[in-house]
């Protein structure tokens, strides 16, 4: 590695901020100027990240920095605020003529990938924080992408029932991404609603006057769409709906890849075994881990959801199965079910005993 690159990536604070700051800068240039900047933004999010992962620019071991609030607090807050600034920027760019069809498509794809990968990873980080202000910030990131229910479904359903038939967000062995998405989106929406309704029962300590979270999720989504339509017209409304669909597809792809085919064994009393590192796919690639706030270190997250992204390492004792490539690359592979199954099914462990 060149000395300058080594110096750039020597400190956790520097490397995380650099990896997270480059895409918004390129997206800003793409939105304003289009052309080659649109291509540069798209290539950075896709090809450059892949090359840097394969080159081993960032070590795959512990990344450090957990003690630095400039990293664990201010980076997620900055990314969330950047997300809200990116929404009008994307809509202004994608509803204004002048960039041409190719530039428009590249800009659209780049914003969708950033919202669905980086904003998702950051919102996921925030909704797991104990500070209610940070939690609400992450929730509103999801609400702005018309995906607010993920705040409840992920924390209260997915983490409890992961790798079982009761988790809509766990992809079954042999299930294509398209079948999974058609099942997981409505399944998670419904499961999250039912779990919140159950937890709001008075005997479980419901606070007087508390509003069902889905009122906020749905009301917030309507408010976002009304605001978008008021400022950017029908064109902006349609662009944002399609852009959110693109971003939500990235979120569903992440869920699909990270638990595909992994199942907890059912014990004699009918309950699943405890969640272990073997129930999540890890991806050890370093650079994509920086830009995704270590979302690829997923097994450790399921064992300790309270840890910040800077505290996550690869699964203890290497017990988690490893993806053959980075999380974004495998999400792309998942779009081709035949190639996906050829690559992944042989890496699956034998089916867990007691599985229905």
- Phi then psi dihedrals of residue 70, to 5 deg: -65, -25
Grouping H, G, I as helix, E, B as strand and the rest as coil, residue 171 is: coil
- How many structural domains comprise the chain? 1
The residue that leads in pLDDT, 99 or 311, is 311
Q: Using CA atoms, how far apart are residues 273 and 270, in angstroms rounded to an integer?
A: 9
Residue 6 pLDDT > 70: no
**Chain segment 27-75, per-residue pLDDT in tens:** 999 999 999 999 999 999 998 888 888 887 777 766 777 788 999 999 9
Instruction: Decide: 142 and 123 in contact? Cβ < 8 Å.
Output: yes
Q: What band does 286 get if pLDDT is binned at 50, 70 and 90?
A: confident
> In this predicted model, which residue has the larger pLDDT, 207 or 256?
256
In-domain check, residue 107:
yes
Dist. CA 141–CA 180, nearest whole Å:
24
For 300-319, the pLDDT digits (tens) are 999 999 999 999 988 767 78
For residue 172, give the DSSP letter. Answer: P
Residue 256 to residue 331: CA distance in whole angstroms: 8
Q: Please indicate, yes or no, if residue 219 is contained in any of the structural domains.
A: yes
Within a domain: residue 217?
yes
Q: Among candidates 57, 106, 80, which has minimal Cα distance to 290? A: 57
Q: How far apart are CA 185 and CA 188, in angstroms?
A: 5
Query: d(Cα 74, Cα 137) in Å, to the nearest integer?
Result: 13
User: Is the predicted pLDDT of residue 83 greater than 60, yes or no?
Assistant: yes
Q: Which two tokens stand for residue 228?
A: 């978008």
DSSP calls for 72-83: HTHHHHHHHHHH
Q: Which tokens hold the place of 278?
A: 């073997």
Token pair of 328, please? 């974004």
Closest-CA residue to 69 (of 123, 129, 137, 154): 129
State whether residue 45 is helix, strand or coil. helix
**Residue 115 within a domain:** yes
Whole-number pLDDT of residue 10: 60
To which residue do tokens 């650079």 refer?
A: 287
Q: Is residue 266 part of a domain?
A: no
- What is the reported pTM? 0.93
Give the integer Cα–Cα distance in Å for 138 and 120. Answer: 9
State how far the Cα of 165 lies from the Cα of 128, in Å rounded to an integer: 24
Nearest Cα neighbor of 116 from 82, 77, 149, 142 is 142
Residues above pLDDT 90, as percent of the chain: 75
User: Which contacts (CB < 8 Å, 24+ apart) does range 278-282 have?
Assistant: 278/319, 278/320, 278/321, 278/349, 279/162, 279/163, 280/162, 280/163, 280/315, 280/320, 281/257, 281/320, 281/321, 281/322, 281/323, 282/314, 282/315, 282/320, 282/321, 282/322, 282/323
Look at residue 297 and give its three-state secondary structure. coil
Identify which has the larger pLDDT, 202 or 199.
199
Q: Is the pLDDT of residue 243 over 90?
A: yes
CA dist., res. 183 & res. 169, Å (int):
9
Going by C-alpha positions, the residue among 183, 310, 204, 317 that lies closest to residue 252 is 183
- Residue 292 covered by a domain: no
The one-character DSSP state at 114 is I
Domain that holds residue 108: 3-169+179-201+210-253+304-313
- 242, part of any domain: yes
Q: CA separation (Å) from 182 to 202, 254, 313? A: 34, 15, 32
The answer to whether position 325 is within a domain reads: no
pLDDT band for 1, please (50, 70, 90 cuts).
Answer: very low
Backbone angles phi, psi at 313, to 5 degrees: -130, 180
Residue 311 DSSP symbol: G
Using the predicted structure, report yes or no on whether residue 205 has a pLDDT greater than 60: no
């Amino acid at each position: 590695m060149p000395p300058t690159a080594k110096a750039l990536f020597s400190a956790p604070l520097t490397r995380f901020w650099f990896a997270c700051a480059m895409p918004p800068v390129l997206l800003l240039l793409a939105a304003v100027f289009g052309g080659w900047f649109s291509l540069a933004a798209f290539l950075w999010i896709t090809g450059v990240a892949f090359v840097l992962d394969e080159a081993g620019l960032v070590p795959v071991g512990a990344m450090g920095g957990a003690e630095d609030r400039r990293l664990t607090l201010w980076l997620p807050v900055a990314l969330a605020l950047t997300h809200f600034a990116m929404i009008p920027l994307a809509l202004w760019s994608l509803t204004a003529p002048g960039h041409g069809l190719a530039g428009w498509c590249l800009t659209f794809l780049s914003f969708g990938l950033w919202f669905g990968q980086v904003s998702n990873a950051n919102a996921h980080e925030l909704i797991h924080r104990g500070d209610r202000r940070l939690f609400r910030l992450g929730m509103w990131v999801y609400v702005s992408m018309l995906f607010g229910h993920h705040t409840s479904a992920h924390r209260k359903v997915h983490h409890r029932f992961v790798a079982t038939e009761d988790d809509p967000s766990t992809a079954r062995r042999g299930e294509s991404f398209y079948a999974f998405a058609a099942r997981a989106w409505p399944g998670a929406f419904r499961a999250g609603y039912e779990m919140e309704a159950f937890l709001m029962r008075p005997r479980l300590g419901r606070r007087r006057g508390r509003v069902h979270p889905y009122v906020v999720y749905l009301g917030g989504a309507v408010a976002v769409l009304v605001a978008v339509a008021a400022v950017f017209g029908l064109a902006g409304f349609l662009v944002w709906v399609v852009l959110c669909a693109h971003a939500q597809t990235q979120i569903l792809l992440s869920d699909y890849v990270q638990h595909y085919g992994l199942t907890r064994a059912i014990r004699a009393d009918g309950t699943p075994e405890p969640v272990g590192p073997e129930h999540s796919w890890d991806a050890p690639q370093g650079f994509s881990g920086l830009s995704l706030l270590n979302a690829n270190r997923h097994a450790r997250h399921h064992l300790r959801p309270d840890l910040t992204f800077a505290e996550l390492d690869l699964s203890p004792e290497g017990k988690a199965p490893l993806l053959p490539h980075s999380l974004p690359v495998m999400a792309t592979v998942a779009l081709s079910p035949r190639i996906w199954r050829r690559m992944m099914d042989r890496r699956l462990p034998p089916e867990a005993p007691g599985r229905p």
